[in-house]
Amino acid sequence: MPLQNHPKSRLPKWLPIVIIGMFVAHYFTVALNHFSKELLPKKYYYLTNQYLVPWFYQNLTAFAPEPPYRRHVFVYRLRSNTNWSEWKQPAQPHLERQWNNRFSISVKIHDQLENLAEQLYDSGDRDKTNVGLLRFAKHSYVLDAARRYAKNYDDEVLNALEMQVAVYIAEYGVDNNQMAIRDTAYIFESMPL
């Protein structure tokens, strides 16, 4: 649409510049934050986080630079007397429900359980640089969360004395145009219930 001739500015001359400047500065910071994760010096990432976290935090680099090629699955088993149960994979039934219905709320239960596995893995014996929203939680906090899950959602806990948690890890790669999946597991210490 063509611009029209208006008599004069109703706003002080500096005000439009300030308003646009604020938006530009905000998005410049957001851009600097995102591009300092991989491309620019990391110090800008921490610097811009001072302004962006928690109010304006956003992570828009999903599936980049690589799609997630490592899958972490939360598993645990319970001991009553001398017998250990089979390894339980609580997220699996929720995932299966979501395959049948893309609008199933089970996906959110699944995501929470898989994030627990992620946290277990990261807090376990990793030595990673923190590029996440919060510092990696202490391992003991994550173990507490795992125990809380079992206590809230697994009836077998009533007869159990001990719990052991683990992370099943599947690594996905492509070798000679063919899918290659390698799996392993991290087993953490047992803990009393």
Partner 1 sequence: MIRSLLLDWQYRLDVSATSRLFIRSINLVGFGLILWMLPISNMVWGDAHFSILYHDFQGLDSIAVLLRFDGVRQFYLVFLMSYLGLTLLGLLGFSNAVSRFATWLIILILYYGNYDVSNGGWHMLIQLHFLSIFLFKPDTIQNETLKALANFTHNVAFRFIWIQIAFMYFTSGVHKLFGNYWLNGEALLLVLNRPEFSLPFLFENLAENTFWLKLGTWCALGYQLLFPFVIWIKRLRPWILVMGLIFHLFILIFMGITDFALILIAAYTVFIEPKNANRLLKYLRLE
| 152 near partner 1, judged by CB under 8 A | yes
CB of 73 to partner 1, least distance (A): 9
Among 14, 62, 86, 184, binds partner 1 (CB under 8 A): 62
| 20 near partner 1, judged by CB under 8 A | yes
CB of 31 to partner 1, least distance (A): 7
| Range in contact with partner 1 (rule: CB under 8 A) among 75-83, 149-157, 158-166, 182-190 | 149-157
| 157 near partner 1, judged by CB under 8 A | no
The three-state (H, E, C) secondary structure of the chain, written as one string: CCCCCCCCCCCCCHHHHHHHHHHHHHHHHHHHHHHCCCCCCHHHHHHHHHHHCCCCCCCCCCCCCCCCCEEEEEEEEEEECCEECCCECCHHHHHHHHHHCCCCCHHHHHHHHHHHHHHHHHHHCCCCCCCCCCCCCCHHHHHHHHHHHHHHHCHHHHHCCEEEEEEEEEEEEEECCEEEEEEEEEEEEEEEC
Span 82-121, contacts to partner 1 by CB under 8 A: 95, 98-99, 102-103, 105, 107-112, 114-116, 119
| 75 near partner 1, judged by CB under 8 A | no
Span 117-146, contacts to partner 1 by CB under 8 A: 119, 133-135, 137-138, 141-142, 144-146
